[in-house]
């Protein structure tokens, strides 16, 4: 199936996708040229699914991520949230959207404010989104979910290792109880020795909490460990899509085979 056809089913479940791109094109123009970052992309992400979007640099991954996060508007086509077209000018809709869709950024060094304590960092989305309840209790709840205890609350990001900082970033994303977690290259900035620990944390959380996971990555092996379905992106178009086990063991596109050839060893989940 190509991106010219009906929306691709990335995850099984409910009739209405929690997030959807319909015929989305995103281009950027300068005085001398127009660059098409995404070209007529259809993508549907259903509640409870785990979807990996993979591709090399320049494939359009960052553009898809911004659109799925409501941080950008397509040149043509629609971005939909729970069946409704996302309107970035609709404050009520965007408040609901921000509560429901949270992101874990690539590098916790730059995504965590070094001047804020861990407690303030995690509570910040609760304050900014006007979420009621005991914020201190919620901070402790999400810290426990990522394997950290309350003793870290009054410390600062610089006092932690890269893996611990990423756990804090995940806890911050979980604080508003989102239904969708978007992960942007969540382990690429970490040492190889701690990557598997963060992968385990994400896998455990999506399983226990039932959170929908959308992961953007250049690393198809990491996607193989975390995602039920895989979307392969190339030059702004969907090259291949399907159940991860099938895509990684019986790829249909030559480009997918090229990505797989660059992986020294497939993840244990597919052994």
Of 77, 58, 71, 62, the C-alpha closest to 98 is 71
Q: What number is the average pLDDT over the span 232-247? A: 96
73-to-4, 68, 182 alpha-carbon distances in Å? 20, 10, 17
Mean pLDDT, rounded, for 8-31: 80
Q: pLDDT band for position 12 (50/70/90)?
A: very low
| pLDDT tens for each residue of 82-137 | 999 999 999 999 999 999 999 998 888 888 999 999 999 999 999 999 999 999 99
Domain locations in the chain? Answer: 49-55+91-263
Cα gap 215→226, rounded to integer Å:
9
Regarding predicted confidence, which is higher, 49 or 189?
49
Burial of 13 (0-12, 13-18, 19+ CB in 10 A): middle
Task: Domain 49-55+91-263: state its class.
Answer: alpha beta
Give pTM, 2 decimals: 0.87
Q: Average pLDDT of 218-243? A: 94
Percent of the chain with pLDDT over 90: 77
What is the rounded CA–CA span in Å between residue 178 and residue 211?
7
Instruction: Give tens-digit pLDDT for 102-113.
Output: 999 888 888 899
Give the residue-averaged pLDDT of 151-173.
95
- Work out the pLDDT band at 266, boundaries 50, 70, 90: very low
């Amino acid at each position: 199936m190509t991106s010219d056809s009906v929306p691709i089913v990335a995850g099984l479940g409910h009739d209405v996708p929690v997030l959807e791109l319909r015929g989305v094109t995103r281009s950027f123009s300068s005085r001398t040229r127009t660059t098409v970052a995404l070209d007529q992309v259809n993508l549907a992400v259903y509640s409870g699914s785990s979807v990996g979007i993979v591709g090399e640099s320049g494939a359009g991954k960052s553009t898809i991520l911004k659109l799925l996060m409501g941080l950008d508007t397509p040149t043509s086509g629609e971005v939909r949230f729970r069946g409704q077209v996302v309107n970035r000018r609709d404050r009520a809709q965007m408040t609901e959207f921000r509560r429901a869709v949270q992101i874990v950024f690539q590098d916790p060094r730059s995504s965590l404010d070094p001047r804020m304590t861990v407690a303030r960092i995690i509570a910040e989305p609760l304050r900014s989104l006007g979420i009621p309840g005991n914020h201190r209790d919620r901070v402790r709840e999400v810290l426990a979910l990522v394997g950290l205890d309350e003793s870290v609350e009054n410390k600062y990001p610089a006092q932690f290792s890269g893996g611990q900082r990423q756990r804090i970033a995940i806890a911050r994303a979980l604080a508003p109880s989102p239904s969708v977690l978007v992960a942007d290259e969540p382990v690429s900035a970490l040492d190889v020795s701690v990557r598997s620990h963060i992968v385990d944390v994400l896998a455990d959380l999506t399983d226990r909490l039932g959170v929908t996971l959308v992961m953007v990555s250049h690393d198809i092996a990491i996607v193989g460990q975390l995602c039920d379905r895989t979307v392969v992106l190339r030059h702004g178009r969907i090259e291949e899509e399907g159940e991860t086990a099938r895509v990684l063991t019986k790829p249909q596109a030559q480009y997918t085979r090229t990505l797989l050839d660059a992986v020294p060893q497939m993840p244990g989940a597919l052994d």
